[in-house]
């Protein structure tokens, strides 16, 4: 199984948005902010985008969705499948 999605740059950008939102909303302790900021810089460089560039934000952002909300949907769907022993495709079409 490959871990590479159709648009890895968009996923990497979403990870940076998650880190940035976590800093902004106070999820991250002040002592840990610098580490996440460095992570954002490293991910941005590795995937070839400038996280602070507004044009790139418009092209790569998944907002108004967020990585956390997408993860929650996945986790809830996975739980429903496990609890109900129902195939995923039936849950998705209901």
32-86 tens-digit pLDDT: 999 999 999 999 999 999 999 999 999 999 999 999 999 888 888 888 777 776 6
Confidence check: pLDDT of 1 > 50: no
**Same domain membership, residue 73 and residue 46:** no
Residue 46 pLDDT: 97
**Same domain membership, residue 12 and residue 57:** yes
17 close to 63: Cβ distance less than 8 angstroms: yes
Q: Which domain holds residue 92?
A: 64-94
16 close to 43: Cβ distance less than 8 angstroms: yes
Cα-Cα end-to-end distance for the chain: 28
Here the tokens at position 73 are 């949907």
Q: Which residue has the tokens 């092209």?
A: 59
Counted domains in the chain: 2
Residue 70 lies in a domain: yes
Confidence check: pLDDT of 90 > 50: yes
Residue 93 lies in a domain: yes
Residue 62 pLDDT: 92
CA nearest neighbour of 66 among 26, 29, 16, 2: 16
């Amino acid at each position: 199984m490959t871990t590479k999605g159709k648009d890895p740059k968009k996923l990497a950008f979403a990870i940076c948005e998650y880190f940035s939102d976590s800093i902004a909303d106070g999820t991250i302790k002040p002592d840990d902010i610098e580490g996440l900021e460095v992570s954002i810089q490293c991910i941005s460089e590795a995937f070839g985008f400038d996280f602070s560039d507004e044009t790139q934000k418009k092209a790569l952002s998944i907002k108004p969705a967020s990585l956390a909300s997408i993860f929650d949907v996945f986790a809830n769907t996975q739980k429903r499948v496990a609890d109900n022993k129902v195939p995923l495709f039936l849950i998705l079409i209901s």
